[in-house]
Amino acid sequence: MPAFINGFGACLPNKPVPNQQIESVLGMVGQVASPVRDVILDRNGIKWRYYAINPQSGKPTHTNAELTCEAIRSLAAASGLDVAEIDLLACGTSSPDQAIPSHAAMVHGLLGGPPCEIVSTGGVCCSGMAALKYACASVQAGLNRSALVTGSELISPALRASQFGSLDEQTLQQNPYLSFSREFLRFMLSDGAGAALVEDRPRSGQLALRIDWIELRSYANELGPCMYSGALKQSDGSLLSWRLAEDDPATAFHKGYFNLCQDVQLLSENIVPTAGRFFADVRRRHGLEAQDVKWLVPHISSMFFQQPLYEEMAKAGFDLPPEKWFLNLKYKGNTGAASIFIMLHELYRSGKLQPGDRILCAVPESARFTYACLHLTVQ
C-alpha cells in the first residue's frame, strides 16, 4: 500500500536573530564575548536563526510541545486537515521538555482531538526521519490511514549563558578542548518545528509526495560518541553519565555535564567519509542515478560541509550540481530534527515542484553517526 505526504507545516518562533545579536539574546558566558564565535559563524555560514526566547527578558516564550503544535496547526490550516482524522502521532526530537511523559504525549495533550496512537523517537537530527519511517511503515502496512509526523527542537534555553558553569583550571587541564566543544554548538543551533501529513492516498486538488523509500543506518558499532549531553567524554573516548559521576548535581553542572558538546575533531574526521559510505550503499540498493533526481534536500549543520559532501557524492558516482541542492540553512538556521521538514515545507510551497519530479532528502546525525535518506516522487 502506498504512502503519501499531503502537506507540511512549520513554526519558527519570534523574530529572526542575526549573528551580531546572538550573545545579546543568549548572554555571554562568564560575562565575556566568546573568543570562538566569529570563527564558528564564519565557517557555518548561518546568517539568521530563531530562538524561543524573549530578547528583553531572556525568558522562554514556548515549550517544545507548543512549537510542535504550532507547526501542526500551520499544516492543518494549509491542507484543510481536521486533527480528529488522525490515527497516529509520531514525534521526533532531541530536546523534549521533560524526560517523562514522552514528547508525543505532551504534544497530544496540547493538540487535543480524540485518542490516537502515539510514538516518540529519540536521537538528534535523524529522530524526525525515524518518526517519518514509523508513520510511513504504519500507513503502508494498512495499520493506520493517516499520521501526523513532527520534528522539533527547543535548544535555546540550554544555550543561555546561565546554563554554563565556569570551568575551573583543573577541569580545563584534564580536558583542554572542553571549553571550545561546549561553546561550539551555541553558535550552530536554533529552535523550530516542522510537521508532515502522511496518508494512504493523495488529497484531491493538492500536491502530494509519494514516499518511495526511507533508509536509516547507524555506524555506532564503529565510531564513538561525537555530540553528547548529560555526560562528559573521558580520555578513552567513553562517556561518563552524570548519573554515575561521584559529583553532586551542582558540581556536575559546573563541570559541564549538562551542556550540549561536540567533539569537533571526531566530527571533522568522520562525518563526510561515513556519509559517502552510506550514500554509496543506498545508491547501490536503489539504483539511484543523478540525472533522475530533480532536487537534493540535504540537512547540513554548516555550509562548510556542502563542498566536501558534493565531492564525496561525486566520488560515489552521484554528481548532482549545487544548483539542484535546495538549502535554507543560511536564513532558517540549524533546527536539528525539524530541519528536513522545514526545508520540505518551503520547497513544497515554492511552486518549483512538478508531477514526476524526484526528490532525494539526506540527513546526517553526528551524535554517534547515524544517517538517513528519503526518496519522494511528486504526484
The alpha-carbon radius of gyration of the chain (Å, integer) is 20
CA torsion sign for 153, 179, 188, 126 is negative
Mean pLDDT of the chain: 93
pLDDT at 26: 95
Q: What's the confidence (pLDDT) of residue 181?
A: 67
The predicted model gives 328-342 an average pLDDT of: 97
Confidence of residue 166 (pLDDT cuts 50, 70, 90): low
Q: Please, what sign has the CA dihedral across residues 227, 12, 304, 175?
A: negative
pLDDT at position 32: 84
Asked if the model's pLDDT at residue 272 lies above 60, the reply is: yes
Question: What integer is the mean pLDDT of 68-72?
Answer: 98
pLDDT-above-70 percentage for the chain: 95
Which residues lie across from 192 on neighbouring strands? 153
Between the CA of residue 265 and those of 187, 271, 325, what are the distances in Å? Answer: 17, 10, 27
Domain boundaries, the chain: 4-207, 212-224+261-378
**Average pLDDT, stretch 21-39?**
90
Question: What is the reported pLDDT for 36?
Answer: 84
What pLDDT is stored for residue 254 in this prediction? 84
| pLDDT at residue 21 in the model | 96
Indicate whether 174 pLDDT > 60: no
Query: What is the predicted pLDDT for the residue at 175?
Result: 56
Per-residue pLDDT band for 336 (boundaries 50, 70, 90) equals very high
Predicted pLDDT of residue 316: 87
For residue 266, what pLDDT band results from cuts at 50, 70 and 90?
A: very high
Phi and psi, residue 94, nearest 5°: -105, 0
Same fold, 4-207 and 212-224+261-378: yes
The whole-number pLDDT of residue 140 equals 98
pLDDT at 158 over 90: yes
For 11-28, what is the mean pLDDT?
Answer: 96
CATH classification (class only), 212-224+261-378:
alpha beta
Mean per-residue pLDDT, 38-66: 95
Which pLDDT score, from 0 to 100, does residue 163 have? 87
- Indicate if the pLDDT at residue 308 is higher than 70: yes
pLDDT of residue 29: 85
Express each pLDDT in 224-248 by its tens digit: 999 999 999 999 999 999 999 988 9
pLDDT the model gives residue 62: 98
pLDDT band per the 50, 70, 90 thresholds, residue 286: very high
* Residue 65: per-residue pLDDT: 98
Residue 5 has pLDDT above 90, yes or no: yes
Which residue did the predictor score with more confidence, 89 or 184? Answer: 89
pLDDT at 171 over 70: no
CATH superfamily of 4-207: Thiolase/Chalcone synthase (3.40.47.10)
- Please, are residues 299 and 346 in contact by the beta-carbon 8 Å criterion? no
- The structure's pTM equals 0.94
Report the 3 state secondary structure along the chain.
CCCEEEEEEEECCCCCEEHHHHHHHHCCHHHCCCCCHHHHHHHHCCCEECCCECCCCCCECCCHHHHHHHHHHHHHHHHCCCHHHCCEEEEEECCCCCCCCCHHHHHHHHHCCCCCEEEEECCCCCHHHHHHHHHHHHHHCCCCCEEEEEEEECCHHHHCHHHCCCCCHHHHHHCCCHHHHHHHHHHCECCEEEEEEEECCCCCCCCCEEEEEEEEEECCCCCCCCEECCEEECCCCCEEECCCCCCCHHHHHHCCCCCCEECHHHHHHHHHHHHHHHHHHHHHHHCCCHHHCCEEEECCCCHHHHHHHHHHHHHCCCCCCHHHECCCHHHHCECHHHHHHHHHHHHHCCCCCCCCCEEEEEEEECCCCEEEEEEEEEC
